Chains A and B, each alone.
Chain A
Amino acid sequence: MALTRAAVEHVARLARLQLPASELERMREQLSAILDYMTMLQEVDVAGVPPTAQVTGLSSVMRPDEMQPTLSQAQALQNAPDHAEGMFRVKAVFEDESTG
Chain B
Amino acid sequence: MSDLHLLTITAARAALDAGDITSVALTEALLARIAAVEPRVHAFLTLTAEQALEQARAADAQRSHSRSGQALGPIHGIPLAIKDVICTSGIRTTCASHILETFVPPYDATVITRLRAAGAVFLGKTNCDEFAMGSSTENSGFGPTRNPWDVSRVPGGSSGGSAAAVAASEVPGSLGTDTGGSIRQPAALCGISGLKPTYGRVSRYGLVAFGSSLDQAGPLAWTVADLALILQVIAGTDPFDGTTVPHAVPDYHAALTGDIRGVRIGIPQEYFGEGMEPGVEQTTRTAIAALGDLGAELVEVSLPHTRYALPTYYIIAPAEASANLARYDGVRYGPRVAGNSMWDEIERTRGSLFGPEVRRRIMLGTYTLSAGYYDAYYKRAQQVRTLIRNDFQQAFATVDLLATPTSPTVAFPIGQKVDDPLAMYLSDIFTLTASMAGLPGLVVPCGFSCNLPVGLQLIGKPFDEATILRVGDAYQRSTDWHMQRPTL
Contact = CB atoms under 8 A, between A and B. Distances in A.
A54 to B, nearest CB: 5
Contact of B340 (A11, A51, A78, A99): A99
Interface string A30-56: 110111011011101010011111111
Interface string B388-428: 01000000000000000000000000000000011000000
Contacts of A99: 340-341, 343-344, 347
Given A38-B315, A91-B341, A54 B347 contact: no
A46 B231 CA distance: 37
Interface string B317-353: 0000010001001111111100111111111101110
Contacts of B447: none
Contacts of A49: 383-384, 386-387
A41 B261 CA distance: 40
Contacts of A33: 421-422
Interface string A4-48: 000110011011111110010001001101110110111010100
Contact of A15 (B322, B342, B356, B389): B322
Interface string B345-369: 1111011101010011011101100
B62 interface: no
Contacts of A46: 380, 383-384, 387
A7 B103 CA distance: 33
A12 B341 CA distance: 18
B308 A8 contact: no
Contacts of B364: 31, 34-35
A55 to B, nearest CB: 3
A17 B354 contact: yes
Interface residues of A, number: 53
A61 interface: yes
Nearest to A44: B384
Contact of A55 (B199, B352, B354, B376): B199
Given A16-B347, A46-B387, A31 B367 contact: yes
- Main secondary structure, interface of A, reads loop
Contacts, number: 180
Nearest to A98: B341
A33 to B, nearest CB: 6
A17 B422 contact: no
Given A38-B315, A61-B242, A52 B342 contact: no
A31 B363 contact: yes
Contacts of B307: 40
A80 interface: yes
B132 to A, nearest CB: 19
Nearest to B362: A15
Contact of A91 (B104, B345, B354, B421): B345
Interface string B4-28: 0000000000000000000000000
A79 B333 contact: yes
Interface string A52-72: 111110100101000000010
7 contacts: A16-B326, A23-B359, A31-B360, A55-B213, A58-B243, A92-B341, A100-B343
Interface of A: 7-8, 11-12, 14-20, 23, 27, 30-31, 33-35, 37-38, 40-42, 44, 46, 49-56, 58, 61, 63, 71, 75-76, 78-82, 88, 90-93, 95-96, 99-100
Nearest 8 A/B pairs, CB to CB: A51-B382, A55-B438, A18-B351, A96-B341, A79-B333, A61-B242, A18-B347, A46-B383
